[in-house]
Chain A
Amino acid sequence: MELDFESLKAQNNQVDDFTHPDFYEIDNLLTEEHKLIRYSVRSWVKKEISPIIDACCQEATFPQHIVPQLGDIGCFGPQIPSEYGGGGLDYISYGLAMQELERGDSGIRSTASVQGSLVMYPIFKFGSEEQKQKYLPKLASGEFLGSFGLTEPNHGSDPGSMESNFKDDGDHVILNGAKMWISNSPFCDIAVVWAKNEAGIVHGLIVERGMEGFTTPTTHKKWSLRASATGELVFDNVRVPKENILPNVKGLKGPLTCLNSARYGICWGAIGAAMDCYHTAVKYAKERTQFGKPIGGFQLQQKKLSEMLTEITKAQLLAWRVGTLMNDGKATPAQISMAKRNNVEIALHVARESRQILGGMGISGDYPIMRHMANLESVITYEGTHDIHLLILGMEITGENAFV
């Protein structure tokens, strides 16, 4: 459905008064620049996302007009060096930007995560200089939207068994296969696709919209991430020039490196969703009166709020610490797994408890809680499922591989 975003913004009469809880003075661990970045993204979300997001989700509409805006504020690849159009900022800045975007909506954060961590990052890390020059500035500005093709209909947690493949054809390769559950796919200009060569080795290829045999059907009927466009990437004998193959990586290490960067962003993003639910619940608990006093004055509601704040505070500390490790280049995949898994789980828990505090109002689109809760059901599954992260941690602890 076509939405009139300008009139939604003009008619909006709900003031987004979000402020973040900071029970352990974690702001003192941030620089003034970090705080300014957070302020900027939050201001943009309040102005551009809050007034339209419920309508976007109700109507399952991706607000495509925000893509250049996300580029303009710098949410596409803030951690990519500025000579390629990125922000040249550290990983705490990147994390805070993701937190604020997901505070708005997980779908909006997903769009930025995919662009920055799964499209720009592999081109930056594994691409040729020509590829970097050709694609990164356009992706950073939002002129191009990218998608990332790893998951397949029959291969989710086990990407090594992927069926997508390419065969040598002179200056080109011929790509066949299908990718599923791909964020941004229906609107993407390019896709970073992982497929096996004739020797069965995984390589990354940049596939451009318009290449013959490349289609991106939309996935409909989602109950989650409804403001984000999801679809498939289908390759039917697509001739991809060899210069579009990422030269500097082979094997699953390529896509898994990208996932590390994206998972890191999610561990911050999830805190944003949790904070929004908590903020909403605290406000409601103080205003809603039953039995002659605000429901926040009852022990059962205080228990919920206290536990929420505790979990949010722990999640903030995990995210901050893993961010400083990322800045030092020392964060391990298992450390990132722990933060992603924990923070999404607590966010989902906070969303459910907030929903209880709001009672029936909790399911209404007038409040963000049910939307966040439904979104987080995707977030807890994508970028390594909740279970798979346990296996990554388990292998780290025991040295034993429990995947197979």
Chain B
Amino acid sequence: MNILVCLSAVPDTTTKITFTDNDTKFNTDGVQFIINPYDELALTKALEITEAKGGEVTVISVGEASIDPVIRKALAIGAHKAIRIDTAAKDGMHVAQSIKQAIEGQSFDLILTGRESIDYNGGQVAGLLSELMDMSLVNVVTSIEVEGDSVTAIRDIDGGRETVSASLPCVLSAQKELCEPRIPNMRGIMQARTKPLEVIAPAGDYTKTDYVGYELPPAKEGVKLIDAANAEELIDLLRSEKKLI
């Protein structure tokens, strides 16, 4: 059972977001990058599966050398080897196409991704990749069971759960509750030093979109407390000042 896990490096959740280049570029100065939390779940699940059934976990990431520490962390957590495609991850199509080209000729039983990255929240890579690879896709799953050459996954749907089965190979994207992420230990960190991290050149530029501009959400206003006995005042404010009703 060989599994490919697509890994995105995203800014730490506590990062203060600023922009450069006339608000057309995210300012990465001083930003701490982490493994996208949904991708970390995908990685952990991949390790659980290969520990039970044998095989290897390869992580693949699209990005420049600055994301190497994030990839090393994935190796420290337990991934067997890593591939980095040496190009900035511009949009979902560029990432999915780059990954497809990079793994040409290799065979994976499963491709796992996170449901979305927590920076741009595109949520496109799993879908695009499954189409490009001609594999089936089960999106946003909270449980994965592999049996023989098929996989059974559970998805949250509105007001319930859906159980889906698909034949291997296929693409699955990880949702919260899929598993408990692992904390890398020192032995793992040391072993990660010598695990292979292959850096390959991008096969082309597949970008389909351009970022025209960014802006921050408006600053939060202070809280206005209204006495519980004064419901009318609240309704007045919502109507006249906020124009919500």
Contact = CB atoms under 8 A, between A and B. Distances in A.
A and B physically associate: yes
Interface string B75-104: 010000000000000000000000000000
Contacts of A19: 14
Contact of A82 (B72, B73, B184, B187): B187
A78 B185 CA distance: 10
B186 A74 contact: yes
A32 B186 contact: no
B69 A36 contact: yes
- Chain A's interface size range is 20 to 34
B202 to A, nearest CB: 24
A133 to B, nearest CB: 18
A10 to B, nearest CB: 14
A93 B190 CA distance: 11
A301 interface: no
A87 B183 contact: no
A89 B186 contact: yes
B10 interface: no
Contacts of A73: 183, 185-186
A44 interface: yes
Interface string A294-309: 0000000000000000
A40 interface: yes
Interface in B21-71: 68-69
Nearest to A27: B32
B189 interface: yes
Contacts of B76: 36, 40
Could you tell me the dominant secondary structure of chain A's interface residues?
Answer: helix
Contacts of A82: 187, 190
Given A88-B190, A89-B190, A40 B69 contact: no
Nearest to B32: A35
A72 interface: yes
B72 A32 contact: yes
A36 B190 contact: no
A36 B189 contact: yes
A264 B73 CA distance: 27
Nearest to B30: A25
A341 to B, nearest CB: 28
A44 B182 CA distance: 10
Contacts of A44: 183
A315 B193 CA distance: 30
B186 A93 contact: yes
A45 to B, nearest CB: 10
Contacts of B73: 36
B162 to A, nearest CB: 29
A33 B189 contact: yes
User: Which of A32, A35, A75 has the most chain B CB atoms closer than 10 A to its own CB?
Assistant: A32
User: Which of A19, A40, A93, A97 has the most chain B CB atoms closer than 10 A to its own CB?
Assistant: A40
B61 to A, nearest CB: 15
Contact of B189 (A37, A43, A47): A37
16 contacts: A32-B72, A33-B193, A35-B69, A36-B69, A36-B73, A36-B189, A40-B186, A72-B185, A73-B183, A74-B186, A74-B187, A74-B189, A82-B190, A87-B186, A93-B186, A97-B186
Interface of B: 14, 68-69, 72-73, 76, 183-187, 189-190, 193
Given A33-B193, A87-B186, A87-B190, 12 more contacts: A32-B69, A33-B72, A33-B189, A36-B73, A72-B185, A75-B186, A78-B186, A87-B187, A87-B189, A89-B186, A89-B190, A97-B186
